[in-house]
Structure 1
Amino acid sequence: MTASDSTELSRPIARKLALWATLACTLAVVVIMLGAWTRLVHAGLGCPDWPGCYGFLTVPQSETNIAIANARFPDTPVDVSKGWPEMIHRYAAGTLGLLVFGLAAVSVRHRRAGLPVKLPLFIAGFIILQAAFGMWTVTLKLWPQVVALHLLGGFTTLSLLLLLTLRLRRQALGRQASGLSVAGSLARFRPWLYGGLLLVILQIALGAWTAANYAAVACTDLPTCQGQWWPQGMDFRHGFDLTQHVGPNYLGGQLTSDGRVAIHVSHRLGALVVLAYLGVMLTLLWRRRGQSGLDNAVVLVAVALALQFGLGLTNVWLHIPLMIAVAHNAMGAGLLLSMVHLIWRHHQLVQPAMSPAPHTTTINREVTA
């Protein structure tokens, strides 16, 4: 069988896997949104055990089951209204895990057809690690370090699934990197794109730390915080203390008000840095895009950036309404995905133009003469 025959046979499989990978991406966004919803309604410990709920597969609701559950966990009596958000999140995460394992299994089975194997297997392994962090989130009683890493793990899983989707779609269409030669100024944007991606990741990490320490409500006015441009007494040392010991129940947070204000202000400053950096970078990239085909990718990042910044402002103005706060988390994922997509498109379409070797130029001149 020739390489071209193998490619033709792999396209239908890649097309189907691309659809499943797209579904996995969509479900990953839903899981992130459900995780935000669970935190915002203070249901992170709605079920004190893992993976079940008070030893049941679902939230206990009958009088008999509630009595059994309360006997098993006397320190955390059943609250059905908080148990369901937690379990719905777990069901969605479990379904995503099964879908990822299925993608990995099919990829391994058809590896001779040239389908990507290492990436699906890595994502499957990462899902197992993410599940462990989900367990530790409960067993360590919302320890901020674990909660923040669990949130970042969700965004990482989503980004990897997008990369897998893009690779499978390219293979399904039978395309390779175009190798389009463009102006060197556009090719030199690559490190700036990675710098923008790093800033977005750091800002997401700040957002995760803000959520894990319940610091979103530390400042309820704009553009100042508690009526001051630089609040007095901000405690950055305790606000960003990564050595907090395991043991207390961190539901609702354990930090002082000054520590939470420091976290909140840092998140605001990070948002301004990301807005300024991406704003300038996207403007310059748009002006130099030429015929590169990056138009849609650039616009997508710009729209996600504007929406995310607007949602962040609205969160503070309206005092963290549930739907806006969940949307803010979802759009954070959208901004990350749009940056990953832009970098992917840049890699596919932009290749640094190579100057011809001196002897080649001489030969060309002789032939022309």
Structure 2
Amino acid sequence: MYRRLVFIALALTLIVVVLGAYVRLSDAGLGCPDWPGCYGQLTPAHAADEIAAAVAESPEGPVSMHKAWKEMVHRYLAASLGFIILVIAGLAWRRRADPSVRATIAVSLVAVVIFQGLLGKWTVTLLLKPAIVTGHLIGGLTTLSLLALLALRAAQVSRPTVPASLVRWARIGLLVVIVQIILGGWTSTNYAALACTDFPTCHGSWWPDMDMANAFHVVRELGMTAQGDMLSLQALTAIHWMHRLGALVVTGVLLVLALRLALAGQRGMAGAVFAALAVQVSLGIANVVMSLPLGLAVAHNAGAAVLLLTLVVVNERLVPARAWDLAGRRNDENAYA
């Protein structure tokens, strides 16, 4: 039961993360302007009168019936995931002496999910502040990564013997992917994905005019500077261009990692890293060239989640077997103490 629930939660988390990207990119993030219900009701159907009044008042506004359903389906799935994670944490704690269970991570997931729920609430009530929306994305991917660790331990994956230098490259690869995902989230939540419409240059330049200070000022309203002025094109350009430069760093690091994995005889992991990277880079370029079609934009978010999962799996598998066995024995000792 524990193992099945972990894998179900992992799959559901991936769905929730991708659906969350779809809700955001289709401008349905305020489809229901309150939380956790929709105008205080369980479903948009029960709030039909309030939604109709909002549409009549502002036909081009953020509220409509189809946007409300998108938002609420995302909330229903997220709530279901939270319940499953609570059950997983309870089962993991009962089986904490089992080396295939990581009870500490399972219990920590409960705290992550609670905070993630608060971020979901603040995303709506604070009107899509970039820092909150980006934090919500990071929380979802953190949940995905922790569940992947639980699934890998439950599956008791093999751990090959590899050079310590390869483990360090895997750690660096994971770190740069995390930083790049944060940059990507900041780009998306600030609607800066089309600040540069040409490729590979931006506005015909390899170093376009940029406003770094306002671009990366965290505490501010959507589309505004900290002083309340409209965010300039130069600021949006800075956000976009830093994400592109980050993509270059990630590409270089992961290509080296894939090569070193292949030379160490780990061709399966090397192929997975290369394939996930190639797909994600291709989607990023296609989004710029094709002016951010919704399907490709959502796929790019899904690709980021898959790339992160790939690096989590690689790092977990490269943990030395001796260290993993010792961790399991420590769990046993703590449980019986």
Matched, 1:301 2:287: no
Across the two proteins, how many residue pairs are aligned to each other? 316
The match for 2:329 is none
Contact 1:315/1:321 (8 A) holds in 2: yes
Residue 109 (structure 1) shift: 3.2
Residue 284 (structure 1) shift: 2.4
Distance 2:268 2:188 in 1: 32
The match for 1:275 is 251
Residue 190 (structure 1) shift: 1.6
Q: Deviations over 1:236-271 (max 9, x none)?
A: 1111112326998xxxx9522111111001100100
The match for 2:171 is 194
The match for 1:313 is 285
Distance 2:102 2:218 in 1: 38
Matched, 1:36 2:21: yes
Equivalent residue letter for 1:192: W
Residue 60 (structure 1) shift: 3.9
**Secondary structure of 2:39's partner?**
coil
Equivalent residue letter for 1:237: A
Contact 2:196/2:240 (8 A) holds in 1: yes
CA separation of 1:66/1:138 partners in 2, compared to 1, >3 Å: closer, same or farther? Answer: closer
Which residue, 287, 300, 323 being the options, matches 1:328?
300
Contact 1:60/1:66 (8 A) holds in 2: no
Matched, 1:126 2:102: no
Distance 2:204 2:27 in 1: 28
Which residue, 123, 136, 140 being the options, matches 2:122?
136
Residue 88 (structure 1) shift: 1.3
Residue 125 (structure 1) shift: 1.4
Distance 2:79 2:287 in 1: 30
The match for 2:201 is 224
Matched, 1:149 2:135: yes
Residue 140 (structure 1) shift: 0.7
Residue 124 (structure 1) shift: 1.3
Contact 1:219/1:261 (8 A) holds in 2: yes
Residue 156 (structure 1) shift: 0.6
Contact 1:213/1:255 (8 A) holds in 2: no
The aligned runs of 1:108-123 (5 Å cut-off) are 108-111=93-96, 115-123=101-109
Equivalent residue letter for 2:205: Q
CA separation of 1:214/1:41 partners in 2, compared to 1, >3 Å: closer, same or farther? Answer: same
CA separation of 1:236/1:113 partners in 2, compared to 1, >3 Å: closer, same or farther? Answer: closer
Q: Deviations over 1:161-180 (max 9, x none)?
A: 0000111111xxxx8x76x6
Distance 1:181 1:209 in 2: 38
Matched, 1:343 2:315: yes
CA separation of 1:63/1:155 partners in 2, compared to 1, >3 Å: closer, same or farther? Answer: closer
Contact 1:189/1:285 (8 A) holds in 2: yes
Distance 1:264 1:77 in 2: 25
Distance 1:63 1:103 in 2: 36
Distance 1:276 1:121 in 2: 36
Distance 1:55 1:254 in 2: 33
Equivalent residue letter for 1:87: M
CA separation of 1:98/1:63 partners in 2, compared to 1, >3 Å: closer, same or farther? Answer: closer
Contact 1:213/1:254 (8 A) holds in 2: no
Equivalent residue letter for 2:183: L
Distance 1:218 1:92 in 2: 33
CA separation of 1:213/1:78 partners in 2, compared to 1, >3 Å: closer, same or farther? Answer: closer
**Secondary structure of 2:154's partner?**
helix
TM-score by length of 2: 0.86
What is the aligned-residue RMSD (CA, Å)?
2.7
Percent identity between the aligned chains? 44
CA separation of 1:238/1:118 partners in 2, compared to 1, >3 Å: closer, same or farther? Answer: same
Gaps of 5+ in 2: 324-337
Equivalent residue letter for 2:249: V
